Amino acid sequence: MRISLRRCGLLGTSLLVPSLHATLVMFQWTPTRILFAADSLEAKLLNGHISFVSMCKLQQQGDAFVAFVGLTGHEAEKIDLYSIAAQAARTGISLEQKLDVFTRLAHEPVRKMWKTAMTSEPLIASITFGTTMVMVSTRDHAIAVQDYFASADGSITEKPSVIRGIGQKRMQMTDYMAVGNHQETSAFAKSNAKLMALNGIDFIKAFMDTQIAFEQGRLKQHALPRVGYPISILQIDLLGGPAWVPGYQGACPAIQPIKLK
């Protein structure tokens, strides 16, 4: 089994309410099935108090599903990358077209967001260091990943996008990808044969369960958990379409009918 691990932002902010949500997103592409998973914990910061709520981090937008890790918006600057991703996901037909729209629309906002964060929000800037957008197309049976890495001065390095799938310039990589908070489980997995022997949904469940167990241990050290239940796991079969894995819909709503023109 091969696992590719990527660490992006530890905390994220949403647009309307100052919000800190650390995230663990996982996915795997195969020619016949896509697995797409995320935790649901969000910590909202308001008037110096933190409260925990559950939120769906795998958002359906037309025939696509989108997730983010890291800084995703800035209220004062009226920047919301989720809205930009929603517009992109509902534009065009192919995943390449959707990704092109997103990168063009997000080019200036993501740079302005990070420049402002580095100068006016030192707490956020000190614990987040990038933004990753993952978009899954049910129409194309493919996964796109777009990374932005932030420097201390707020400048952004935009990594070339990667699309997993079948087709020209797409990569047929079937390894599991974990993005976000997974450092403890990643280290644990290297020496745990039982975990590494699992496959598919069972592996993703066990990996996320293990990370959440580590997060609960942080409470004993008077640190906030960054990842938490419920877990949402989406399965997209090449012929059967998208469906929540039974018992793992989490905080997400029912899947809306997808019209393929």
What size, in residues, is the chain?
A: 261
Q: Please report the pLDDT score of residue 71 as a whole number.
A: 82
Q: Please report the pLDDT score of residue 2 as a whole number.
A: 52
The set of residues, in sequence order, having a beta carbon less than 8 Å from that of 221 and lying 6+ positions away, is none
Domain locations along the chain: 3-244
Q: Please report the pLDDT score of residue 27 as a whole number.
A: 97
Residue 159: its H or E element:
none
Cis preceding-peptide flag for 242 (omega within 30 of 0) = no
Q: What is the pLDDT along the chain (261 residues), one digit of tens a residue?
A: 455 655 444 433 333 333 444 589 999 999 999 999 999 987 665 555 667 788 999 999 999 999 998 888 877 788 999 999 999 999 878 999 999 999 999 999 999 988 887 877 666 655 567 899 999 999 999 999 999 998 877 789 999 999 999 999 999 999 999 998 888 998 998 899 999 999 999 999 999 999 999 988 877 776 777 889 999 999 999 998 999 999 999 999 999 998 765
The third-level CATH classification (topology) of the domain covering 3-244 is Glutamine Phosphoribosylpyrophosphate, subunit 1, domain 1 (3.60.20)
Please check whether residue 24 is in contact with residue 230, taking contact to mean a CB–CB distance below 8 angstroms: no
Distance CA 237, CA 124 (A): 38
Q: Is the pTM of this model over 0.85?
A: yes
Q: How far is CA 28 from CA 9, 115, 225, in A?
A: 20, 33, 25
Q: What is the pLDDT of residues 222-243, one digit of tens each?
A: 677 788 999 999 999 999 899 9
Q: Please report the pLDDT score of residue 33 as a whole number.
A: 98
Q: What is the pLDDT of residues 127-158, one digit of tens each?
A: 567 899 999 999 999 999 999 998 877 789 99
Q: Interior CA angle at 178 toward 195 and 196, to 5°? A: 15
Q: Please report the pLDDT score of residue 74 as a whole number.
A: 78
Q: Please report the pLDDT score of residue 120 as a whole number.
A: 74
